[in-house]
């Protein structure tokens, strides 16, 4: 993958710690200074009204000024990134669709471009639909393509926009869905909704039915699942972006609140669950901050930046 701008050069490994005197514990190797902040949006960086607070805007700018890259890593599609497109600095990139796309937001609202796509193959998507129909009757499906959302008639209006088309999932995923332009658009993920199952129960059921044929997660408080290609997650795509820049997991600080953040929080050297986070997220993170409505991401960033200024003074 080629990024929009070259990343910083890798830092040299720290010198090995000197042997401890007899009878003393060796000193722990100092943790590398953060070089990249990876933050989820909904329930994490954004307040519940979907706004970015003034405090958070200032913290993001301070991080970039201190030489720390900020990546927005979200389940949102690229076209829903207007809420933060004014706050991208430097590289201008965001990871969208739970890792299915890397998007350049430099152009501003409505002019984003895809830098990398990790699609869900059509045959795999059809297999997912077949398996979930059998395992959980009553499931309603939607298909997220690079050009928009397509869904079944029974799929509820959960999103911010009307569907590009309405039809059974099998037709939406057919080799020829009726519109040649749509057929050329990669599938980023399949969404599955159940009106009766509890969210975590639906997630467990779907993972058992699908296995490693696709990646199944969720970020909604409702029983809405997000299904991506095998191995596609926020963590795996973030790892690719960091590798381009010579950034190690130990140099990454990550924030999240829902199950779709767990792999990213486990991968990053330092991670924070929000005060409002799902219990499984709290268990996966190395630390915890206050809730999104209390600017929990900004609280940590301010501390990181203050420490860097102190070290540089």
Contact 14, 30 (CB under 8 A): yes
Q: So what's the pLDDT on residue 178?
A: 75
Which pair of tokens denotes residue 214? 């696709």
Q: Report whether pLDDT(88) > 90.
A: no
**Which is higher by pLDDT, 304 or 85?**
304
Mean pLDDT of 286-302: 98
How does residue 162 score in pLDDT terms, banded at 50, 70 and 90? confident
Q: So what's the pLDDT on residue 157?
A: 83
Mean pLDDT of 259-284: 98
Mean pLDDT of 186-194: 97
Q: Which of 37, 27, 31, 26 is nearest to 14 (CA)?
A: 31
> Cα(147)–Cα(129) distance, rounded to whole angstroms?
21
β-partners of residue 252 are 36
Contact 3, 244 (CB under 8 A): yes
Encode pLDDT of 111-128 as tens digits: 788 999 999 999 999 999
Q: Does an H or E element contain 227, and which?
A: strand 224-228
Query: Which range among 11-20, 219-228, 282-291 shows the weakest confidence by mean pLDDT?
Result: 11-20
Q: Report whether pLDDT(17) > 50.
A: no
> Cα(140)–Cα(199) distance, rounded to whole angstroms?
14
Q: So what's the pLDDT on residue 30?
A: 62
- Residue 43 makes CB contacts below 8 A (sequence gap 6+) with 219, 257, 258, 274, 276, 277, 292
Encode pLDDT of 58-74 as tens digits: 999 999 999 999 999 99
β-partners of residue 141 are 192
Average pLDDT of every residue of the chain? 89
Contact 96, 113 (CB under 8 A): no
Mean pLDDT of 87-108: 86
Three-state DSSP at 250 gives helix
Q: Report whether pLDDT(281) > 50.
A: yes
Q: So what's the pLDDT on residue 27?
A: 55
Q: Does an H or E element contain 253, and which?
A: strand 252-256
**Which is higher by pLDDT, 177 or 239?**
239
Q: Report whether pLDDT(3) > 50.
A: no
Q: Report whether pLDDT(183) > 90.
A: no
């Amino acid at each position: 993958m080629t990024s929009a701008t070259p990343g910083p050069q890798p830092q040299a490994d720290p010198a090995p710690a000197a042997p401890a005197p007899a009878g003393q514990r060796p000193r722990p190797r100092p943790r590398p200074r953060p070089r990249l902040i990876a933050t989820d949006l909904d329930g994490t960086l954004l307040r519940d009204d979907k706004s970015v607070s003034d405090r958070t805007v200032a913290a993001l700018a301070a991080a970039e000024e201190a030489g720390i890259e900020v990546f927005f890593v979200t389940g949102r599609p690229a076209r829903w990134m207007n809420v933060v497109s004014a706050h991208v600095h430097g590289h201008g990139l965001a990871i969208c669709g739970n890792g299915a796309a890397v998007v350049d937001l430099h152009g501003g609202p409505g002019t984003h471009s895809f830098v990398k796509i990790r699609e869900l193959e059509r045959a795999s998507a059809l297999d997912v639909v077949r398996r979930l129909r059998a395992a959980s009757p009553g499931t309603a499906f939607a298909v997220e393509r690079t050009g928009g959302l397509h869904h079944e008639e029974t799929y509820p209006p959960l999103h911010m926009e009307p569907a590009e088309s309405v039809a059974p999932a099998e037709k939406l995923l057919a080799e020829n869905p009726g519109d040649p332009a749509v057929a050329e658009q990669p599938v980023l993920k399949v969404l599955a909704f159940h009106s009766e199952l509890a969210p975590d129960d639906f997630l467990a059921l779907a993972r058992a039915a699908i296995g490693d044929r696709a990646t199944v997660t969720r970020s909604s408080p409702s029983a809405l699942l997000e299904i991506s290609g095998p191995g596609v997650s926020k963590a795996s795509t973030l790892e690719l972006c960091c590798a381009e820049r010579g950034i190690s997991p130990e140099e990454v600080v990550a924030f999240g609140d829902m199950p779709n953040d767990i792999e990213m929080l486990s991968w990053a050297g330092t991670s924070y669950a929000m005060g409002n986070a799902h219990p499984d997220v709290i268990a996966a993170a190395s630390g915890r901050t206050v809730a999104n409505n209390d600017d929990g991401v900004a609280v940590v960033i301010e501390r990181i930046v203050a420490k860097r200024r102190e070290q540089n003074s």
